[in-house]
Amino acid sequence: MKKIFFVFLLILIVGFGYRIVFSTETFLSNNKSIDIAQINAVKKLINSNSKYNNRIAFFIDMKIPSGQNRFFVYNLKLNKIIDSGLVAHGSGSETKIKGKLKFSNVPNSLSTSLGKYSIGNHYKGKFGKAYKLYGLDTTNSNAFIRDIVFHYYFDVPYKEQDNYICNSYGCPMVNKRYFDRMVAIIDNSKSNIVMSIYY
């Protein structure tokens, strides 16, 4: 009887361990890391104002090609990436040099703007649920009047790929499945989450 119990317990432990490893596999970032200066800048902002979430922040590294995971969910307390996914950039950020981007804060530029954002309230727009973004730096101060929002789009792939993905009109735009995970984080946060887009 004891042997059966221990075999059952061993199977349970192995099964549980397997589930943890493979359920978190998609949350790892394939040896990608976030610039420490960006993390420190976000921490400094968060420490100066209690309205910002001091546990979770979003980072988008525009140096990484769009077909690779470059949207990172970062645990500020544990100092580690806990999720990552694909994110599109603005079509106005494209240059004639493949892999090189440009950025703008100018209305109608269709470009991504670099800087820190505060994620605001959600609304239902032409792409479904979306979150208003408020630029916190001079480089993205026009985000709200430019209608730069965080939203999903069905043409954004879920998995990493060798090719570049589609472009947005300047908004950080992700896959619906990934967006739903972000929604769970944003909607359960009692304070505003900071998103930092950098290059």
Q: In this structure, are residues 198 and 61 in contact, taking their beta carbons and an 8 Å threshold?
A: yes
Task: State the pLDDT at residue 114.
Answer: 98
Task: State the pLDDT at residue 32.
Answer: 84
**Helix H or strand E encompassing 38:** helix 36-48
In degrees, rounded to 5, the angle at the alpha carbon of residue 159 between the alpha carbons of residues 98 and 57 is 85
Nearest alpha carbon to residue 199 among 135, 114, 120: 114
Task: State the pLDDT at residue 30.
Answer: 55
* E strand intervals along 21-114: 52-61, 71-75, 80-85
pTM score of the predicted model: 0.84
Q: In this structure, are residues 86 and 69 in contact, taking their beta carbons and an 8 Å threshold?
A: yes
Domains of the chain (ranges, CATH numbers): 29-198 (2.40.440.10)
Tens digit of pLDDT at every position of the chain (199 positions):
444 444 344 444 444 443 333 333 333 445 689 999 999 999 999 999 999 999 999 999 999 999 999 999 999 999 999 999 999 999 999 999 988 999 999 999 999 999 999 999 999 999 999 999 999 999 999 999 999 999 999 999 999 999 999 999 999 999 999 999 999 999 999 999 999 999 9
**Helix H or strand E encompassing 3:** helix 2-23
Question: In whole angstroms, what is the distance from residue 148 CA to residue 43 CA?
Answer: 23
Nearest alpha carbon to residue 100 among 64, 50, 154: 64
Task: State the pLDDT at residue 8.
Answer: 42
